Structures are given as C-alpha cells and as structure tokens.
Amino acid sequence: MYVKVEELKEGNVLLEDVISKAPEPLMVKDTILTSWHIKILEAFLIDKVAIGGASMGMVVENAGLPAEEKKRAAVPVQTKTNFFEVYLRSVDEYKKEFHKWQAGSGVDIIQIREIILPLLDEVTADPGLFSKLYQCAEKENYYCHHSVVTGLLSGAVAAQLNYEKGFVIQTALAGALADCGMARINPRILLKETSLTAGEKKEVDKHPVLSYKMVKDINLLNPETKIAVFQHHERMDGSGYVNGAKAENLPPISRIVAAADVFHAMTSDKLYRKRQTLFKVMEMFEQDFFGKFDLPTVKALTALFTKLASGTAVRLSDGQLANVLFMKQQHPTRPLLKLQANESIIDLEKRRDLHIEEVL
C-alpha cells in the first residue's frame, strides 16, 4: 500500500527500499518508521512510500505480545544506520544545546563531541556525503545546521590535509563552536527575514568574542582551538575581523575554520537570501576571494566536492543533464562532460558561461 509521506505515522513499516538519488537506498525494507525517518523522507522530497503492518498498512501495534516483547517492540528497529537520520538527530541535539546557551548555560563539550564525532568519521570516509547534506537543510534552523556542517567540513578538510587524528577532532570542534556566541545575540536579529541593518550587523559581529568567552575555560579544547573560534572571521590579507589579523598570525586551525564557515554560509539558504551553488562558490574561492583564504585549505575543501567518478550525472546551470567524462586535476570544477541529450562533448574549462548546478 503506497501512502503519501505527509500521511505517515510512527510505527508504519516499509514494504520496500526507499530509493533517492544516492547509489544506496535512503531507507531499507522492514524499517519501522519513527519521527526521524519521516523527517528524512520529507527532507528528500519523497512523495509516497510502500508501507505495511497491522490493518493493511496502519501502525504496528504491540497488542497481544508478552510484556518483554512489548518492551522490545517499543524500540524502533532498522537494519542499517542511515547517515542522514543521524545528521538530523545531531542537528536537533545541537539545537537543544543552543537553547541552553541562550538561557545562560555553559558549553557541554562532552555533548558537542558526541554530536560531531560520529558524523565526522562518516564524512571523512565518504566526502561525497557533503553534497547530499544540503537536501536536509532547514533555513529556519540555519544556525544549528551551519554549526554542525562547519564542524564536519573543518574536520574533513584537516583530514584531507593529512593532519593527525587529534588535530582533526580539535579542528572539527572549533568549527562546531565558532558560532556558539550567536546564542548571546538578540533572537530577533537571528530570526529576521530581511537583510540586517548596520546596527544589527555590528551586533552580530560581536559573536566571535562571545564564542571565545564561552569556550576559553574548557580544558578539553587546545589553545589553538580556542583561538580558531575567536579568529574564524579573520582573513589572510588582514581584511577580516575582530583584529584584522594577517596570515602570519593565523594558525592552521583558524585558516581551516574560516574557509569552512564561509563556504557553508554561502551554499546554504538563509531566511533572507537563497544559497549559491557548490561549484559556483568553489570558483569564487579560487578567483574572487583569492588572497583571503589559505590556498592549501581551499584546495582541500574543493577536493571534498570534486572527486566525481567517470559517468557521474550532473545538472548544468542551463538545465542540461550531462555525465562526467574526465576530471581535471588543475581545474577540478571544470571537468569534461558528455551531454545526455545529444551525446556531444562539452569542456567546462572553455565554456565559462556554464557551471555545474548539481551533482545527481
């Protein structure tokens, strides 16, 4: 029985795998749906799914089971852990921490580690997951999504640059906590649906200092990690804030978090503006922002999104569909493609009027 996603209830059981654009099923057959599963289906714009269970597709009941069986049946069962479910759960957990900070509580670094580190292991093993995370974004919860993804991007870039595990973890934590000071900004400003006034921007620009004050006494964070939280809006050429620090005063973690923070911000929907595409922003880092960000960091960040196998389907900025023929090491955002419509070859390095809009 096929049921629209908006009509699903917790306890419904999938009769078949749910397929999205990813090579593996989004959810597998026999998964007992929870609110998390339903939220993921909505995020991936799934229209209908096949469900079964008691009463021709209704919610699975525990009636008639022994007490111990009822207890076990109350626990959702799934045959395979889904990365996107864990991600959405982590964003919700981060949101709870953010609300605690707004109420005046300090940072629970153990909880932040538990939110970030399981996801970090997944994305460092499979960076291709980053391209799919944008399907889970919610602009109403932008700051929580932003903090989690900035942490993951920061850690993944550090791993891409071959830093040791401890450094990777500290970099991820710096990214995840860089904006914790936003909790001390007037909520009215954070929820505003139009561009900020000069006065409101000045208020928001205080958040690196506020973030640093919230992490400075945490023993499990290294000094360089705390500095990165403070410096994540500094730029290599001295054009950033709070102190206008230049390259010689920006340690590696600061350089990584700064790039990850801007990259995710530009490629995310906010209440007052739409996101820009991943490949367009990568090219802006290489061209428009040249000199502002650390070059090895930018190359490592770009590599997370451009390891596309031959045959990978993409949508171009003019709407055409194509497949990757060859990725260019020197120009990773401008591969050689074959158009699906007429099988003609197109070299994006020569066609500057086009760019990759989406990896399918």
In the chain, where are the structural domains located?
2-73, 83-305, 313-359
Beta strand pairing call for 336-339 and 13-14: unpaired
CA 218 to chain centre: 25
Architecture of the CATH domain 2-73: Alpha-Beta Complex (3.90)
162 pLDDT above the threshold of 90: yes
Q: For residues 151 and 280, what is the distance between their CA atoms, to the nearest angstrom?
A: 22
Q: For residues 100 and 183, what is the distance between their CA atoms, to the nearest angstrom?
A: 9
pLDDT of residue 70: 36
214 pLDDT above the threshold of 60: yes
Architecture of the CATH domain 83-305: Orthogonal Bundle (1.10)
pLDDT of residue 16: 86
pLDDT of residue 74: 35
Using one digit for the tens of pLDDT, what is the confidence trace for 51-63? 875 433 334 334 3
pLDDT of residue 22: 52
pLDDT of residue 21: 59
317 pLDDT above the threshold of 50: yes
Q: Are 298 and 288 in contact (CB under 8 A)?
A: no
Which residues make Cβ contacts (< 8 Å) with residue 347, sequence separation at least 6? 334, 336, 337
Q: For residues 98 and 204, what is the distance between their CA atoms, to the nearest angstrom?
A: 16
pLDDT of residue 147: 97
Using one digit for the tens of pLDDT, what is the confidence trace for 234-267? 999 999 999 999 999 999 999 999 999 999 999 9
Nearest to 136 by CA among 97, 83, 99: 83
Using one digit for the tens of pLDDT, what is the confidence trace for 295-310? 999 999 999 999 888 8
Using one digit for the tens of pLDDT, what is the confidence trace for 322-332? 999 888 888 99
Q: For residues 208 and 323, what is the distance between their CA atoms, to the nearest angstrom?
A: 42
Burial track 35-48 (b if 16+ CB lie within 10 A, e otherwise): ebbbbbbebbebee
pTM of the model: 0.78
